[in-house]
Amino acid sequence: MTRILRNRLLYISIVLIIGLTGFVVKNSYYLQVLTFIGINTLLALGLNMLMGYAGQISLGHAAFYGIGAYTTGILSVTYNLSPWLSLPCAIFLSVLVAFIVGVPTLKLSGYYLGMGTLGFGMIAFIVFREWDDMTGGASGFVGIPSLNIGPLSFASEQNYFYLVWSVVLMIIIMCQRIIDSRMGRALRSIHDSENAAKAVGINTMNLKLQIFIFSAAVSALAGFLYAHFVSFISPGSFDFLMSVRMVTMVVIGGMASIWGALLGASLLTLLPEWLHAFSDFEMVVYGLIMMVVMILLPQGLTRGILDFCENARERYAGTDHFKD
């Protein structure tokens, strides 16, 4: 079976699973959790393209998530603009900010890049919290309308579940196309050795900026979907802890893995549901999880699961050969 055929069968399977899940699950709470998993998957996918494939650290990516959410909220509520018209505005503003921030910060590398993006994230959080006239300040921004397409309303949890996961599938396909392209191979070469990539003629700065902007646009798209789903946003949803969550999703699921982003987002979305008693120690829990994963499964859960299955298959094949 060729890789193209295998990917097509995989996408068809995902479509069937999404369709059946939305049809079978009727509980509103479960649909909301599944929708949040989809939104977090978008965040993990965008950041994974930057960290996992290009090898660039970002500790302030929640800022782009917030830019997408606040832009659509302000335009649709304060200026009565259609949410669908506010979407390109949110993505454009996020891309513009990513370009302005990326040009100087992407000249840095390693911990210095992490600190640079962390500073940007803190600045964005302060703007969200202190610009009371536009963002509502610490009290939050309310009254964000639900989405509609003609007579079709996405106010119901089921319809919004389908909308979010349709977008997730579209972004997965887009990321896979990038990874399989010449650009994807160049990104992996930057991840392995930026100096070697420069030596063979790759414009590393331009490529890093492009993937940084793409990652920011995906995060803004997630922010748009989040804002119109919850109808209320506040600065606390886009703080440093959110950036840590995003990084944790990528690391736990497995960097340089699209399906790892999906797995990491699912686990990190469900984790607070399982650990209500430890909500005051959320950062501690995330830190412990990252430590355990990095020690035992340095390539993430996805690679660990695949390696386990491969080892089990080899042991099973070896046992059969011994019996013969």
Per the structure, the complete domain to which residue 204 belongs is given by 3-240
First to last CA, the chain: 29
Q: Report the percentage of the chain scoring pLDDT > 90.
A: 57
The yes-or-no verdict on residue 320 having pLDDT over 60 is no
217 domain-assigned = yes
306 domain-assigned = no
**Residues 257-314: tens digit of each pLDDT:** 888 889 889 988 888 777 666 666 766 777 777 777 777 777 777 777 766 677 777 7
Neighbouring C-alpha atoms within 13 Å toward the C-beta of 43: 37
91 domain-assigned = yes
**pTM tops 0.85:** yes
Number of domains in the chain: 1
**Residues 45-104: tens digit of each pLDDT:** 999 999 989 989 999 999 999 999 999 999 999 999 999 999 999 999 999 999 999 999
109 domain-assigned = yes
**Separation in Å, CA 7 to CA 97, 166, 218, 306, 312:** 34, 17, 22, 17, 24
Would you place residue 321 in the very low, low, confident or very high pLDDT band (cuts 50, 70, 90)? low
223 domain-assigned = yes
252 domain-assigned = no
Q: What is the DSSP letter of 239?
A: S
256 domain-assigned = no
The yes-or-no verdict on residue 210 having pLDDT over 80 is yes
